[in-house]
Amino acid sequence: MSPSNRRGLSIAELIVGMVILGIIGLALMRVMVMQARYFDHQKQANLARNVSRGPLNRLVSDIRMVEAEGGVTAASTTAITARVPYAIGIVCSSDVTGTTISLLPVDSAMYAEPGYSGYAWRNGAAKYFYIMGGSSIASGSLTTCTAAGITTLTADLAKVIKITPKLTDSATVGTPVFLLRNITYEFKASNLVPNGTGLFRTVVDAGTSEELSAPYASGAAFKFFIGSALTAQTAAPANLATLRGIELNMTGRSEKNPRQAVAQAPAPFVTAVFFKNRLN
């Protein structure tokens, strides 16, 4: 058979083939678009969840160690200021030159952070006395603690310090003492995300502020557990000494809308922190 007599595709067959390919291509395109939309929703939801997860450990580790009756000095639905312990020890000796204290091992980075605000000690009635400002810390003598029968774990990053002026006479050898910083956690306008809400951590006496994460949903706020109540209330108590825990509404949101969505993806997150150092 000569080449001129070979049969090929007719125009009708070609059109039918193109129509079939178009239908298949359209179906595949719709699947790809739906998959892309799904993955974008998942991505934005993960980003929203990370907003809350990022600062959670830091906030909880600070707030949990607050002393119940005098640890919180200011509170509202958007901000709390607390006296956060960062080093704990016991008195070795006290004289006119100051009070020598043996500290338990402490994280060196946490200890070196600026912003020392004061200290507190506990008397026999388990009440803490706070001295805010007007004191200074220097290195103490290990032999002073050894002479008092107190072993200091200096090999494990423990320290011996000397506080001046000295603690009052009610702080005797073996009295528990902790050093503290005034720290504020606050929800306010973000510097990182335009028109967003961020969570800030401010070391008050150092004057340093850090935006931990953003953006948060409009409902992000603090609530308050009073006494032995099992339900947190919105308003902070007039007497902050009755405060026993904080409910954290840290609902985050994505920075942008997922594809074909009318709002940012939310990530609801609510948890609670109860103070460890409480008697009731």
Residue 33 or 220, more confident:
220
- The answer to whether 86 and 66 have CB atoms below 8 angstroms apart is no
Residue 143 sits in the same domain as residue 202: no
Residue 70 sits in the same domain as residue 197: yes
The residue segments making up the domain with residue 247 are 44-79+183-274
Residue 63 sits in the same domain as residue 196: yes
**Confidence bin at 6 (pLDDT 50/70/90):** low
State the pLDDT at residue 205.
Answer: 93
Q: What percent of the chain has pLDDT over 90?
A: 41
Per residue in 158-216, pLDDT (tens digit) is: 899 999 988 887 788 889 999 999 999 999 999 999 889 999 999 999 999 999 999 99
Residues 62-92: b if buried by 16+ CB within 10 A, e if exposed: bbebbbbbbbbeebeeebbbbbbbbbbbbbb
Number of structural domains (the chain) is 2
Residue 246 sits in the same domain as residue 108: no
Residue 3, domain member (yes or no): no
Per residue in 45-83, pLDDT (tens digit) is: 777 778 888 788 889 889 988 988 889 999 999 999 999
Residue 75 sits in the same domain as residue 96: no
Residue 104 sits in the same domain as residue 156: yes
Domain endpoint, select from 131, 157, 181: 181
Element of type H or E holding 15: helix 11-64
- The answer to whether 3 and 227 have CB atoms below 8 angstroms apart is no
